[in-house]
């Protein structure tokens, strides 16, 4: 019999003995007077003498994370909400039965204790226990106390154990929660309303990505998990909801990596009567505020580096300026603005770049704008550590943005970069239905050329625009990636509670996963 199963059986046996002592094995509730955090917060300054003079009685619950039994007395630590409080159990104080119960407890069990606070000789605030109430059994052993759970895969698969064992993991997700709260606060304060739009869509639009496909039986139609909420949110601005936002998941059927999970969370918002510059300003403020709210400071550690989210530290440059500025020396003279103008000159830039020992994938039949965008990613992205707004994108990669009045090959679009990652993408929304139809048609040509991710025609969206959408600016902000940056997490899996993993093999040899008795 594997040890785990052995322990499981053994602990079930203990559970029966606990029941025999008159305890309920899985009681429904426990009346406590304090949480662990409240006790630590309120009494950690009190001296031993003060606690002795005016006795503080408490009832408090938690999970046993350490136990040091010494014959007829013992110390244990209760963990609740990530904080630990020591308890002292003495046979004289809890009686025969109480002490028998204490001896039957295992690491990981939940108990409630009532007693009074005191300080031990070493000065630690401790509950002098007078009564123990059994609350719930841990039948499977927790990981070793000193090293804890370090196996990366197990940490993701059994996040519940990870959360019990690793306080810093708990901290990351508390910060993520603060980040989302901060976003909501900022959006609400600016008069935005939160909405929810379809996640199952007949046409997966609003972004460039491969969708997941699913099927609805009753209607007998194929549907796609959304790759973006964009087109639905903009339909709402047509409908007169002038400021809307949504915080929710998008799904993209693509590779996994340190900054990619197939489902990821975006804040996306639209504001009527605003253009991309207004949206830039708002998004910058939104992120600056989030950094402050999450960490209490606008500076955050990122590996060996530090990112400063203060407004004064943000840079802005056009995509073409960024390519020029970060052009590698090895690739010769920096490009001239005019060299972005024609298919041939762009192609020559790629040739120069690749000749310098770099490698950039390039399809000569693709539109020049697409190549420029690729060039930007290859040349500049790795240099964008501090928050940077890169604006003016090629129309060829921006089927939903409004063109720049004086340069119709370029659109009023921006992306925010930090920590070498794209964090955010926004633009002046294209609201001319005829232009939109032409853009979709261009995308269909790209599709025909073999680009599976090119945008599809969406007739209803064009119909919506045909009813008149006010001038509008919009933006999406990647919540997971910002959470990474604000918690110094080097992989997206560390900011997603249950990241996508290959499913575990069912049953069989891995008894640790199937401890149920036969």
Partner RNA sequence: GGGCGCGUAGCUCAAUUGGCAGAGCAACUGACUCUUAAUCAGUAGGUUGAAGGUUCGAUUCCUUCCGCGCUCACCA
Proportion of the chain in helix, strand, coil states, percent, rounded to 5: 40, 25, 35
Task: Rule CB under 7 A: choose which of 9, 40, 46, 73 binds RNA.
Answer: 73
In the bound complex, what is the minimum distance in angstroms from residue 132's beta carbon to RNA? 15
In the bound complex, what is the minimum distance in angstroms from residue 202's beta carbon to RNA? 21
Is 202 or 262 the residue whose CB approaches RNA more closely?
262
Is 154 or 241 the residue whose CB approaches RNA more closely?
154
**Contact call for residue 321 and RNA (CB under 7 A):** no
Is 92 or 406 the residue whose CB approaches RNA more closely?
92
- In the shown chain, the binding pattern of residues 147 to 166 toward RNA, with x for contact by CB under 7 A and - for none, equals xxxxxxxx-x----------
**Contact call for residue 107 and RNA (CB under 7 A):** yes
In the bound complex, what is the minimum distance in angstroms from residue 454's beta carbon to RNA? 10
CA-CA distance, 152 to 366, in Å (whole number)? 41
CA distances from 142 to 83, 138, 165, 311 (A): 17, 8, 8, 45
Phi, psi for residue 169 in degrees, rounded to 5: -70, -45
Closest alpha carbon to 88 in 32, 144, 138, 126: 126
**Contact call for residue 180 and RNA (CB under 7 A):** no
Task: Rule CB under 7 A: choose which of 120, 297, 310, 325 binds RNA.
Answer: 120
Burial class of 487 by CB neighbour count within 10 A (0 to 12, 13 to 18, 19+): buried
- In the shown chain, the binding pattern of residues 497 to 516 toward RNA, with x for contact by CB under 7 A and - for none, equals ----xx--x------x----
CA-CA distance, 146 to 290, in Å (whole number)? 34
Range 300-325 burial, b when 16+ CB lie within 10 A, else e: bebeeeebbbeeeebeebbbbebbbe
Range 4-33 burial, b when 16+ CB lie within 10 A, else e: bbebbeebeebbeebeeeebeeeeeeeebe
- In the shown chain, the binding pattern of residues 420 to 459 toward RNA, with x for contact by CB under 7 A and - for none, equals --x--x---------------------------x------
Virtual CA dihedral for 137, 142, 146, 149, nearest 10 degrees? -140
Taking the CA atoms of the chain, what radius of gyration do you get in angstroms? 29
Is 128 or 403 the residue whose CB approaches RNA more closely?
128
In the bound complex, what is the minimum distance in angstroms from residue 516's beta carbon to RNA? 16
H or E segment and range at residue 192 = none
Virtual CA dihedral for 154, 160, 161, 167, nearest 10 degrees? 110
Binders of RNA among residues 5 to 24 (CB under 7 A) are 6-7, 10, 14
Is 30 or 212 the residue whose CB approaches RNA more closely?
212
**Contact call for residue 30 and RNA (CB under 7 A):** no
Task: Rule CB under 7 A: choose which of 30, 116, 118, 173 binds RNA.
Answer: 118
Is 62 or 478 the residue whose CB approaches RNA more closely?
478
In the bound complex, what is the minimum distance in angstroms from residue 375's beta carbon to RNA? 12
Binders of RNA among residues 367 to 426 (CB under 7 A) are 422, 425
Q: Judged by CB under 7 A, which stretch of 86-94, 274-282, 327-335, 454-462 contacts RNA?
A: 86-94
Closest alpha carbon to 130 in 183, 89, 179: 89
- In the shown chain, the binding pattern of residues 472 to 491 toward RNA, with x for contact by CB under 7 A and - for none, equals ------x-xx---------x
Binders of RNA among residues 264 to 283 (CB under 7 A) are 264
Contact criterion met (CB below 8 Å) for 87 and 102? no
CA-CA distance, 122 to 200, in Å (whole number)? 60
Is 2 or 41 the residue whose CB approaches RNA more closely?
2
Tell me, rounded to whole angstroms, the distance of Cα 382 from its chain centroid.
22
Is 272 or 396 the residue whose CB approaches RNA more closely?
396
Binders of RNA among residues 199 to 258 (CB under 7 A) are 207-209, 250, 252, 254-255, 257-258
**Contact call for residue 79 and RNA (CB under 7 A):** no
CA-CA distance, 108 to 69, in Å (whole number)? 15
Q: How many residues bind RNA (CB under 7 A)?
A: 74
Contact criterion met (CB below 8 Å) for 353 and 360? yes
**Contact call for residue 123 and RNA (CB under 7 A):** yes
**Contact call for residue 145 and RNA (CB under 7 A):** yes
């Amino acid at each position: 019999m594997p040890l785990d199963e052995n322990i499981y059986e053994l602990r079930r046996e203990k559970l029966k003995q606990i029941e025999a002592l008159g305890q309920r094995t899985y009681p429904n509730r426990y009346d406590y007077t304090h949480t662990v955090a409240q006790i630590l917060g309120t009494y950690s300054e009190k001296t031993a003498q003060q606690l002795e003079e005016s006795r503080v009685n408490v009832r408090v619950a938690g999970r046993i994370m350490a136990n040091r039994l010494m014959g007829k007395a013992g110390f244990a630590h209760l963990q609740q909400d990530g904080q630990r409080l020591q308890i002292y159990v003495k046979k004289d104080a809890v009686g025969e039965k109480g002490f028998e119960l204490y001896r039957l407890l295992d690491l990981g069990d939940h108990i409630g204790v009532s007693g009074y606070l005191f300080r031990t000789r070493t000065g630690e605030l401790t509950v002098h226990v007078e009564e123990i109430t059994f609350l719930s059994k841990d039948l499977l052993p927790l990981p070793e106390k000193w090293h804890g759970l370090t196996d990366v895969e197990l940490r993701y698969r059994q996040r519940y154990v990870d959360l019990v064992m690793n306080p810093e993991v708990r901290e990351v997700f508390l910060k993520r929660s603060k980040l989302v709260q901060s976003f909501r606060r900022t959006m609400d304060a600016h008069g935005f309303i939160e909405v929810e739009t379809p996640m199952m869509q007949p046409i997966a639009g609003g972004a460039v990505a491969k969708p997941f496909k699913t099927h609805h039986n009753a209607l007998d139609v194929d549907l796609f998990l959304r790759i973006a909420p964009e087109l639905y949110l903009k339909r709402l601005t047509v409908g007169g909801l002038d400021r809307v936002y949504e915080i929710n998941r998008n799904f993209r059927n693509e590779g996994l990596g340190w900054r990619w999970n197939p489902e990821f969370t975006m804040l996306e918002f639209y504001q009527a009567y605003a253009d991309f510059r207004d949206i830039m300003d708002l998004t910058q403020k939104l992120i600056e505020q989030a950094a402050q709210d999450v960490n209490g400071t606008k500076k955050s550690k990122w590996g060996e580096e530090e990112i400063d989210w203060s407004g004064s530290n943000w840079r802005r440059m056009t995509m073409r300026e960024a390519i020029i500025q970060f052009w590698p020396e090895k690739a010769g003279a920096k490009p001239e603005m005019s060299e972005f103008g024609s298919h041939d000159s762009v192609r020559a830039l790629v040739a120069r770049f690749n000749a310098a020992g770099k490698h950039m994938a390039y399809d000569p039949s693709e539109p020049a704008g697409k190549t420029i965008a690729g060039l930007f990613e290859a040349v500049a992205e790795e240099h964008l550590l501090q928050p940077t707004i890169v604006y003016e994108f090629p129309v060829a990669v921006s089927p939903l943005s409004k063109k720049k009045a004086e340069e119709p090959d370029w659109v009023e679009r921006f992306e925010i970069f930090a920590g070498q990652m794209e964090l955010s993408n926004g633009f002046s929304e294209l609201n001319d239905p005829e232009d939109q139809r032409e853009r979709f048609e261009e995308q269909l040509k790209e599709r025909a050329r073999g680009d599976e991710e090119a945008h599809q025609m969406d007739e209803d969206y064009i119909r919506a625009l045909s009813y008149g959408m006010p001038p509008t600016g919009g933006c999406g902000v990647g919540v997971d990636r910002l959470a990474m940056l604000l918690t110094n997490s080097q992989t997206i899996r560390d900011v997603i509670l249950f990241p996508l993993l290959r499913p575990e093999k069912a049953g069989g040899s891995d008894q640790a996963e199937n401890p149920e008795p036969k």
